[in-house]
Amino acid sequence: MPEPGAGEVRVRVLACGVCRTDLHLVEGDLPPRRPSTVPGHEVVGVVDARGPGAGRFADGDRIGIAWLRGTCGRCRWCRSGRENLCPDAVFTGWDADGGYAEHAVVPEAYAYRLPTRLSDVEAAPLLCAGIVGYRALKRAELPPGGRLGIYGFGASAHVVAQVAIAQGATVHVLTRSVAARDLALALGAASAGPADALPPEPLDAAVLFAPAGELVPVAMRALDQGGTLAVAGIHLSDVPHLDYAAELFREKQLRSVTANTRADGEEFLRLAAALQVLPTVTAHPLDEADRVLADLAADRVTGAAVLVP
């Protein structure tokens, strides 16, 4: 049983989303930072213990534990509002135990209050898929009423699509999964086709959620002049040679996304509640975690998968 330290709270885990970052750690795409760390960073739980000095939450409060777990607060990145770039940042499920468990501990300054309208299972994917996807959407600089391309359509993408559509964007989804294309159309996407196809119209912005570097030139060619592609994943396979004239010229931009700030998280959770974003989720018992990760690797997960102790 973990015990909360100074400024920390412990939660009894009610649900924990399964994120592709967990899969990258399991498969070795990301080197582990701490042996035998419990995965999981989309944690919904109820506070059941508080460490010395912890007063932000009361016992019984439902809160969320996300990927970003701590920053130094002193470096130039933290002082300029870019704590996601802090060189000393630590992360749930990578540097410290996460939510594939019955209890988890978190510094209270990095936990979130959750929208009351969502169930535990529905709220879990918002804590990484939602937050980091929202930062990727901002990095893509989609203009009001613009045309957005989404490459890959898993947990993060299907949340971002709902946000963009609710805000008036035209969304085109490009993914290899037929089931994911069906979900995209059901959520209001204007089109859904194979990942390597061209969308029916040039894009003002695009977000690449699939960890496939070979899709970067594909997405860049689909952009209209002045468009931006944001690469959302923490891991990406090698990017092929880019043709300057066809894929970068005319002031196109290629950007990466690194984690998120707490301000991103608070902003997104408020927006998700206002726009009534509702993740498509499938719940699984905690002891099926290995099988669920295998399903994620094989593209057998539609929407988001969530583990329940």
Long-range contacts of 107-110 (CB under 8 A, 24+ apart): 107/7, 107/8, 107/69, 107/70, 108/7, 108/8, 108/9, 108/50, 108/54, 108/55, 108/56, 108/57, 109/7, 109/56, 109/262, 110/65, 110/66, 110/68, 110/69, 110/70, 110/262
What beta strand segments (E) does the chain contain? 8-18, 43-50, 62-65, 68-70, 90-91, 103-107, 111-113, 147-151, 170-174, 191-193, 203-208, 223-231, 253-256, 281-285, 304-308
Q: Provide the b/e sequence for 118-147 (b: ≥16 CB within 10 Å).
A: bebbbbbbbbbbbbbbbbbbebbebeeebb
How does strand 8-18 pair with strand 103-107?
antiparallel
Count of C-beta atoms within a 10 Å radius of residue 53: 11
The angle subtended at Cα 25 by Cα 213 and Cα 266, nearest 5°, is: 85
Cα(112)–Cα(123) distance, rounded to whole angstroms?
11
**Residue 238 falls in which region: left (phi positive, over 0), alpha (psi -120 to 50) or beta:** beta
Neighbouring CB atoms inside 10 A of 308's CB total 16
Do 180 and 155 contact (CB within 8 A), yes or no? no
pTM, rounded to two decimals? 0.94
Count Cβ atoms below 10 Å from residue 56 Cβ, excluding itself. 16
Which H or E element spans position 144?
A: none
CB 3 within 8 A of CB 49: yes
Asked if 257 contacts 136 with a C-beta cutoff of 8 angstroms, the reply is yes
| The pLDDT of residue 35 | 87
Q: What is the DSSP letter of 55?
A: -
Task: Give the HSE-up count for residue 215: Cα atoms under 13 Å, Cβ half-sphere.
Answer: 26
Domains of the chain: 8-127+279-308 (3.90.180.10), 130-256 (3.40.50.720)
Q: In the beta sheet, which residues pair with residue 18?
A: 305
> Would you write out the chain's pLDDT as a tens digit for each of its 309 residues?
999 999 999 999 999 999 999 999 989 899 999 989 999 999 999 999 999 999 999 999 999 999 999 999 999 999 999 999 999 999 999 999 999 999 999 999 999 999 899 999 999 999 999 999 999 999 999 999 999 999 999 999 999 999 999 999 999 999 999 999 999 999 999 999 999 999 999 999 999 999 999 999 999 999 999 999 999 988 999 999 999 999 999 999 999 999 999 999 999 999 999 999 999 999 999 999 999 999 999 989 999 999 999
Please choose, from the candidates 18, 11, 2, the residue with its C-alpha nearest in 3D space to the C-alpha of residue 288.
18
Gap between the Cα atoms of 157 and 122, Å rounded: 15
β-strand 304-308 against 281-285: which pairing, if any?
Answer: parallel
Cβ neighbours around 264 below 10 Å, total: 19
